[in-house]
Amino acid sequence: MNKSTVYSACVAICPSTLRREALLHLAAVHEPALQPALQAALKSARQPDWEGLWVYRQQEQITGALWVQPLAHATAQLWLPRQDSPAGQALLVAAHAWITEQGITLCHVALPPSHYAWEATLLAHNMVRLAELRHLSINLLSVTLAPELTCVQSGTPTPIKLEAFAKLNVAAQTSLLDSISQGSLDCPTLRESLSSEALLAGFYNQAPEAPDHWYSVNLGHERVGVLLLAPGSEHCWELLLMGVVPLWRGQGIGRKVLQAAFKLAVSQGAADMILTVDANNTPALRLYQQAGLACYAQQRLLAWKC
């Protein structure tokens, strides 16, 4: 009997009676920096979500656990088991087969530097690297805000105006997001695998109150970009997405929109702002750094793409 057969006999979806023990195993292998996100995911889980909770059992004892957390639009997030163990290897095999059966199109995992050793194992289990991420932050109280936001259009200064994203119908919203993704250097492999509808749904699930702070960016009557913000706890806001359509790139609009984001956040009492950018998106990274944002963390994003 080969190892894979032995492993498959030990791996199963977690029975409800063992769920607490399995979750303790899961929490034990995640460092403190990842605990808040994991606990938030567990807190928001519904009964059907536990169908993706897998355990490895030997002599009726749980020795490993893995969770495929379902997300919107046939996507999911993977919460890893303990590395370099027979249990971990077997759980990955079972999870990959299961997400394929379930029709999940993208199952991702975010690795902090302390988990980079996982990458070779995950790649060996048919994952692909989607992006190298940089997490940036800025203290808004130290920012000098521009009094007026304008862009030169046909030789004439034209004000940049923000329109509530909710005023656009669904087709217009997704069309605008599709447009800003064209030729973008920000996580292109991820955007190829993720529809605009799924992207918006993910942002919404992350912060249901955020759409009140989502905008289309307009020059005159032309929509040239998007700005999606999310208020957070302790007076810290997040810039979820900022982008400009290809025709208007390289004309300083991104810098103006970033200033608009700062002003909006400050007007609502925010003291800090955070955002995430692809390390390979050199123009955006340079823009953010020139505006005063500094890196406070990094991650590698990997996924199964089905």
How large a percentage of the chain has pLDDT more than 70?
93
Contacts of 244 (CB under 8 A, 6+ apart): 180, 217, 224, 225, 253, 254, 257
Q: Which CATH number fits domain 137-301: 3.40.50.970, 2.40.50.140, 3.40.50.300, 3.40.630.30?
A: 3.40.630.30
Q: What is the pLDDT of residues 134-146, one digit of tens each?
A: 999 999 998 887 6
Q: Are 50 and 14 in contact (CB under 8 A)?
A: yes
| Residue environment code for 23-32, b if the CB has 16+ CB neighbours within 10 A, otherwise e | bebbeebbee
Q: What is the pLDDT of residues 33-82, one digit of tens each?
A: 788 889 989 998 999 999 999 999 988 899 999 999 999 889 999 999 98
What superfamily would CATH give domain 3-126?
Gcn5-related N-acetyltransferase (GNAT) (3.40.630.30)
User: How do the domains of the chain map onto residue ranges?
Assistant: 3-126, 137-301
Block residue for tokens 């894979």? 4
Q: Is the pTM of this model over 0.75?
A: yes
Predicted pLDDT at 7: 46
CA distance 249 to 251: 6
Contacts 24+ apart (CB under 8 A), 166-170: 166/211, 166/214, 167/216, 168/216, 170/197
Give yes or no for residue 304 having a pLDDT over 90: yes
Same CATH fold assignment for domains 3-126 and 137-301: yes
Give yes or no for residue 157 having a pLDDT over 80: no
- Secondary structure in 3-state letters for 34-72: HHHHHHHHHHHCCHHHHHHEEEEEECCEEEEEEEEEEEC
153 pLDDT band (50/70/90 cuts)? Answer: low
Q: What is the pLDDT of residues 235-280, one digit of tens each?
A: 999 999 999 999 999 888 999 999 999 999 999 999 999 999 999 9
Predicted pLDDT at 159: 83
Contacts of 177 (CB under 8 A, 6+ apart): 196, 199, 200, 226, 243
| Residue environment code for 247-275, b if the CB has 16+ CB neighbours within 10 A, otherwise e | ebbeeebbebbbbbbbbbbbeeebebbbb
Q: Are 93 and 10 in contact (CB under 8 A)?
A: no
